[in-house]
Structure formats: structure tokens, C-alpha cells
Amino acid sequence: MYICICNAVTDKDIKQAVDEGANCLSHLQERLNVGRCCGACSDAAGNCMDKHMARQFDQNEILSF
């Protein structure tokens, strides 16, 4: 699903960026240019990043037991 129409950034692109170390919106902007045109996608990009990071955290917690 497209998150940033201006820069053709998808949720998969954002998840991959998180997997590669992005952990804040400025990191996503540097890597993907998300939110750097009209800015309408900034909240959705941040939410997508937060949800993926939370999922990673939950999986790591499960694996640590």
C-alpha cells in the first residue's frame, strides 16, 4: 500500500527501512524522502514505522523467553 504518493513509498519500503535501522521519521525522510514534498503522509509514515517497530519488539520479547 502506498503511504507517500509524492515519492511512491509503500509500507513495505518503510518496514524495510526499519529493519535496516531507521527508528524515527527523520531517518525515513533521509532514506526514502517520505514527507518531504507535500508532507501529507508524515503521520501515516510515522504510524507505519511505530507499528512495525512494536511488532519487532513483541517478537523479540517472545523469542527471549
Site residues for ligand FES per CB under 6 A? 4-7, 34-41
What amino acid occupies position 29? Q
Distance CA 31, CA 47 (A): 17
Q: Judged by CB, which is closer to ligand FES: 18, or 45?
A: 45
Least Å distance between CB 7 and ligand FES?
6
Q: Judged by CB, which is closer to ligand FES: 26, or 59?
A: 26
User: Rounded to whole angstroms, what are the CA distances from 4 to 15, 16, 31, 35?
Assistant: 13, 15, 13, 7
Q: Judged by CB, which is closer to ligand FES: 6, or 53?
A: 6
